[in-house]
Amino acid sequence: MHHFEERDGELYCEDVPVRRVAEQVGTPFYLYSHATLTRHYRVFDEAFAGIDHLICFAMKANENLAILRLFANLGAGFDIVSGGELYRVLRAGGDPSRVVYSGVGKTAGEIDEALDARILCFNVESTEELHAIDERARRKGVRAPIALRVNPDVDPRTHPYIATGLRKSKFGIPVEQALRDYETARSLANLEVVGLDCHIGSQITETGPFTDAMKRLRDLVQRLRDAGITIRLLDIGGGLGIPYRDETPPAPAEDARALAEELREFNRTGCRILLEPGRVIVGNAGILVTRLLYRKGTDAKKFLVVDAAMNDLIRPALYGSWQEIRAVGKTGGERVVADVVGPICESGDFLAKDREVPAAAPGDLLAVMSAGAYGFVMSSNYNARPRVPEVLVRGEEIHVIRRRESYEDLVRGETIPEFLKNR
Ligand code: LLP
């Protein structure tokens, strides 16, 4: 459920006509609904109400400071994957003692920053990384809290680029190798073994892969216990999907029900559950608004050229994702089959392909729905296009939470060496 609705033929975000935001900030822009963000967070949190748990929002899905603060205010922790993400959490006022740090390539500098911030846990993805963290902690005279991220080898049945829990993916440590790595971790003086972590993929639309992974984790924890290794944090990752089109992913409550018995058992053994949802919280809480510039084409093929492009939203080009396109203003209800394309000089620059969309005319606004996750965060300056603003609506209020970049922003940090100046 979200708060982007049509009223009298016009698209609203909560109590604000989307058109009014376009008048204020120009196009294109990302628009988020405060009520939807809050609701999605709460629904997820309440789904796990009977279980001792902590939500570590996977901020890679949306890293705007205002949105991080909103979740921090609701009690969230964060799942980070870089020093930059840690910096954002701290700048947003997030609590570092609720931060877990995932990713296969943490650098020495990033490890140091996370140690200094006293994060909750490092999710370690290789034997060599264990040694690297031990060494950084030794230099600082501290003990680093670690979990091993295991790869349970289950098929999440999602797009191959976002499947992470298969044996052939670069993520995690194979389950069979985990016990050996736990023994290693235990033997390293500057590490404290606190947890076990697992994340199998993203946009997962059934409970099966989650319950399969859970069984493997349970067996592993049993083997660890037999070896005298106990954990107090079990991080089950994120990955729950959302309906973009006709997918019917389980609601958070359904997913929680499928896992509840196992999770309670973990709680009984003194183990707290960590969750790393990203998309399910923010995906349907944001849209990308764009203006139609030109129509072109032949009888065989029509194009709607809009002012947003693959640099603003790369998901259609990169994953072939399908995201609904809606009219923002009143239309005559006519529809047209067309490609919705941007101004970038690549044929992969499309937001929709061979899609029946509103028969918009130049100047009309269109909304690309379900763009709150992996939208703005994956945008770039390709073709020297300034990144677009992000706007948060709350009731009748409009808050610009990131301004549009200027041309000056585009060249910030670049220099022409002297030798090139004297021709
Ligand atoms: N935890 C870890 C360790 C992850 O790698 C991810 C996502 C998450 C949590 C959050 O997953 P979510 O709940 O959002 O599914 N750019 C792609 C998605 C990449 C997901 C990467 N990892 C897309 O636009 O579909």
- CA-to-CA dists, residue 98 to 51, 57, 62, 119, 188, angstroms: 17, 10, 18, 7, 24
For atom 22 of ligand 1, which residue has the closest CA?
202
DSSP state of 201: B
For residue 419, the tally of other CB atoms under 10 A from its CB is: 7
How many angstroms does the Cα of residue 61 sit away from the middle of ligand 1? 7
Ligand 1 within 6 A of CB of 165: no
For 61-71, write each residue's pLDDT tens digit. Answer: 999 999 999 99
For 2-36, write each residue's pLDDT tens digit. Answer: 999 999 999 999 999 999 999 999 999 999 999 99
Ligand 1 within 6 A of CB of 282: no
CA of 197, closest atom in ligand 1: 3
Note whether 33 and 401 are within 8 A (CB).
no
- Measuring CA to CA, which residue among 39, 34, 69, 74 is closest to residue 54? 74
109, burial (CB in 10 Å: exposed 0-12, middle 13-18, buried 19+): exposed
Does pLDDT of 1 surpass 90?
Answer: no
Active site (annotated) includes residue 345: yes
How many angstroms does the Cα of residue 209 sit away from the middle of ligand 1? 15
Residue 188, both tokens: 């390293």
For atom 9 of ligand 1, which residue has the closest CA?
238
Ligand 1 within 6 A of CB of 370: no
For atom 24 of ligand 1, which residue has the closest CA?
374
Note whether 351 and 368 are within 8 A (CB).
yes
Q: Which of 13, 121, 198, 345 is catalytic?
A: 345
pLDDT of 185 reads 98
Average pLDDT, the chain: 96
For 32-53, write each residue's pLDDT tens digit. Answer: 999 999 999 999 999 999 999 9
pLDDT of 88 reads 99
For 352-399, write each residue's pLDDT tens digit. Answer: 999 999 999 999 999 999 999 999 999 999 999 999 999 999 999 999
Q: What is the pLDDT confidence band of residue 162, given thresholds at 50, 70 and 90? A: confident
| β-strand partners of 296 | 303
Rg over alpha carbons for the chain, rounded to the nearest Å, is 23
For a pocket test of ligand 1, which of 279, 280, 281, 379 has the largest count of ligand atoms closer than 8 A to its C-beta? 279
DSSP state of 160: G
For 72-82, give one letter per residue: b (16+ CB within 10 A) or e: beeebbbbbbb
Report the percent of the chain where pLDDT is more than 70: 100
Give the position of tokens 């059934």. 206
How many angstroms does the Cα of residue 238 sit away from the middle of ligand 1? 7
Query: Which of 165-179, 245-259, 306-320, 363-377 has the weakest average pLDDT?
Result: 165-179
For 266-319, write each residue's pLDDT tens digit. Answer: 999 999 999 999 999 999 999 999 999 999 998 889 999 999 999 999 999 999
Ligand 1 within 6 A of CB of 83: no
Give the Cα separation of 85 and 107 in Å (integer): 14
